[in-house]
């Protein structure tokens, strides 16, 4: 890894010198060195997209050594503080690792079920075919994890577009999965965090006014891009039969994840931050079903590399000295959407919950959809880019996925215009969400 880093620095001396100058200027203005090191790591990921894992691990090592040697952690100084910090973060990191690896196998089960191969019979033949597929991903993500929705969408796209998927359409798949989960407390990690913390499901549901608008605005140009790049398969091959055993396995794995999420966070909330129940449930389901249909274990090494990359950035973000956010306002919520494209939205959401005074629908949309603007801004983007390595370029993602950023801003202001900023009263006085409340919410959304 050190040799790779030295070669990269030698090849890009000008960019490296420019980054150092920018970092020195930021330090002179009083920006903490923690943020400067993290910004340089993100810049390295953006510039050296063929070596993202090495850059992320190098940044993590430098930031960790700096924190241990100089500033310490919220949990204490030195190695002891770092150890306590890892104990505080291990459940989130392990859950995410389990989901990313497990859903890589799940998406393969779904592809091998041959459902994607028969979908052309039901999807329109022209640009409306990719548009309808994005709407399907949006709906799936409202009750599934957004990682699963993005991977299922990516699996279908690989089949119906003959493995030629435009980067702009990849960005739209991620955006659709994040948009679909933004108004549902079981559709995204951040909204689930809000629900666990006592925010009512009804207080995030109106995020769909922004998310639905953003879906349409992004999906139309993305579908036209894809149709021009590689049109949808007009007719499904004859003689294809669906492997319903694999479909059942996919359903079992998803049901295990949803059930673990609800049971752990509703029945045993005091234990939910002590053990990775969701990731463990996914893997128990995979292993139990393995004798029925063998998973493709060869997919795990590639999925592991992408997972380590994302977890490295999340761990870097968790060590940043973000003690408080600006006062809660729609301007702050709008800005958090852009921040979430490069900064893990889980600690951002935790800070916002602690601060209070937000319109939770606005915040859910901002931190959920905002991560779609860059490929590593959300776990769904990282998971999909493991499937499509050509997506691992910030420049190409921003250039061809421009409609995602435009849709984010328009969707936000549509919500602001139609419903207005309505900050919710402190929710800590309310009882933590229970099963009956979730049932009412599901009935309301059905």
Q: Highest mean pLDDT: which of 88-102, 136-150, 211-225, 341-355? A: 211-225
Q: Give the HSE-up count for residue 34: Cα atoms under 13 Å, Cβ half-sphere.
A: 18
Tell me how far CA of residue 2 lies from CA of 5, 55, 59, 204, in angstroms.
Answer: 5, 10, 12, 46
How many Cβ atoms are within 10 Å of 27's Cβ, its own excluded? 13
In a domain, 187, yes or no: yes
Give mean pLDDT, residues 26-32.
79
- Cβ atoms of 180 and 380 closer than 8 Å: no
Helices (H), 370-401: 379-387, 394-400
**What's the pLDDT tens digit per position in 90-115?**
988 898 888 889 888 988 888 888 88
> Which residues are CB-contacts of 262 (< 8 A; sequence separation ≥ 6)?
186, 435, 438
In a domain, 142, yes or no: yes
Residue 359 phi/psi, 5° resolution?
Answer: -80, 110
CA angle 186, 407, 200 (to 5 degrees): 25
Rg of the Cα trace of the chain?
Answer: 21
Residue 436: its pLDDT value, please? Answer: 41
The H-or-E segment that residue 311 falls in is helix 300-318
DSSP three-state, residue 208:
helix
In a domain, 381, yes or no: yes
> How many domains does the chain contain in total?
1
Q: Which two three-digit tokens encode residue 2?
A: 């050190």
Task: Give the mean pLDDT of the chain.
Answer: 84
DSSP three-state, residue 76:
strand
In a domain, 48, yes or no: no
Tell me how far CA of residue 269 lies from CA of 160, 164, 438, in angstroms.
Answer: 42, 44, 15
Q: What is the distance between the alpha carbons of residues 360 and 320, in angstroms, rounded to a whole number?
A: 24
Residue 258 phi/psi, 5° resolution?
Answer: -65, -45
> Which residues are CB-contacts of 294 (< 8 A; sequence separation ≥ 6)?
none
Helices (H), 161-299: 167-181, 189-196, 202-205, 207-229, 244-262, 277-289
In a domain, 66, yes or no: no
DSSP three-state, residue 73:
strand
Asked whether residue 258 carries a pLDDT value surpassing 90, the answer given is no
Describe the crossing of helices 277-289 and 78-112 by its angle, rounded to 10 degrees: 40
Q: Which two three-digit tokens encode residue 175?
A: 């955006």
In a domain, 24, yes or no: no
In a domain, 20, yes or no: no
**What's the pLDDT tens digit per position in 130-167?**
999 999 999 888 877 788 889 889 988 998 898 899 99
What residues make up the domain containing 275?
Answer: 72-445
| E strands in 177-276 | none
Residue 434: its pLDDT value, please? Answer: 44
In a domain, 434, yes or no: yes
């Amino acid at each position: 890894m050190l040799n790779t880093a030295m070669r990269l620095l030698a090849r890009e001396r000008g960019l490296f010198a420019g980054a150092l100058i920018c970092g020195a200027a930021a330090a002179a203005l009083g920006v903490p060195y923690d943020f400067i090191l993290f910004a340089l790591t993100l810049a390295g990921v953006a510039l050296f997209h063929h070596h993202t894992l090495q850059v992320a691990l190098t940044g993590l090592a430098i930031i960790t050594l700096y924190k241990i040697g100089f500033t310490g952690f919220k949990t204490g100084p030195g190695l002891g503080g770092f150890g306590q910090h890892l104990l505080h973060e291990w459940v989130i990191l392990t859950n995410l690792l389990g989901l990313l690896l497990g859903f890589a196998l799940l998406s393969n089960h779904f592809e091998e079920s041959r459902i994607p191969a028969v979908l052309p019979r039901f999807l329109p033949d022209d640009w409306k075919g990719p548009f309808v597929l994005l709407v399907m991903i949006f709906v799936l993500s409202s009750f599934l994890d957004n990682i699963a929705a993005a991977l299922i969408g990516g699996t279908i796209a690989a089949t119906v577009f003959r493995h030629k998927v435009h980067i702009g359409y990849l960005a739209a798949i991620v955006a659709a999965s994040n948009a679909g989960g933004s108004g549902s407390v079981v559709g995204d990690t951040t909204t689930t965090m809000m629900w666990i913390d006592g925010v009512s499901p009804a207080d995030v549901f109106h995020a769909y006014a922004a998310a639905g608008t953003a879906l349409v605005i992004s999906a139309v140009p993305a579908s036209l891009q894809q149709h021009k790049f590689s049109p949808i398969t007009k007719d499904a091959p004859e003689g294809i039969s669906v492997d319903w055993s694999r479909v059942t396995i996919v359903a079992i794995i998803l049901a295990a994840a949803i059930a673990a999420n609800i049971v752990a966070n509703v029945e045993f909330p005091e234990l939910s931050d002590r053990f990775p129940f969701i990731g463990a449930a996914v893997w128990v389901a995979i292993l139990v079903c393995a004798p029925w249909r063998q998973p493709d274990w060869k997919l795990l090494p590639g999925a592991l590399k992408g997972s380590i990359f994302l977890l490295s950035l999340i761990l870097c973000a968790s060590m940043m000295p973000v003690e408080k956010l600006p006062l809660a306002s729609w301007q702050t919520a709008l800005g958090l959407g852009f921040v979430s494209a490069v900064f893990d939205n889980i600690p951002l959401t935790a800070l916002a919950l602690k601060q209070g005074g937000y319109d939770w629908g606005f915040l859910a949309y901002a931190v959920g959809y905002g991560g779609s603007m860059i490929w590593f801004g959300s776990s769904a983007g990282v998971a999909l880019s493991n499937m499509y390595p050509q997506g691992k370029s910030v420049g190409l993602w921003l250039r061809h996925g421009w409609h995602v950023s435009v849709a984010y801003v328009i969707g936000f202001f549509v919500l602001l215009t139609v419903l207005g900023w309505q900050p919710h009263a402190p929710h800590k006085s309310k009882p933590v969400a229970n099963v009956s409340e979730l049932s009412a919410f599901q009935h309301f959304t059905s």
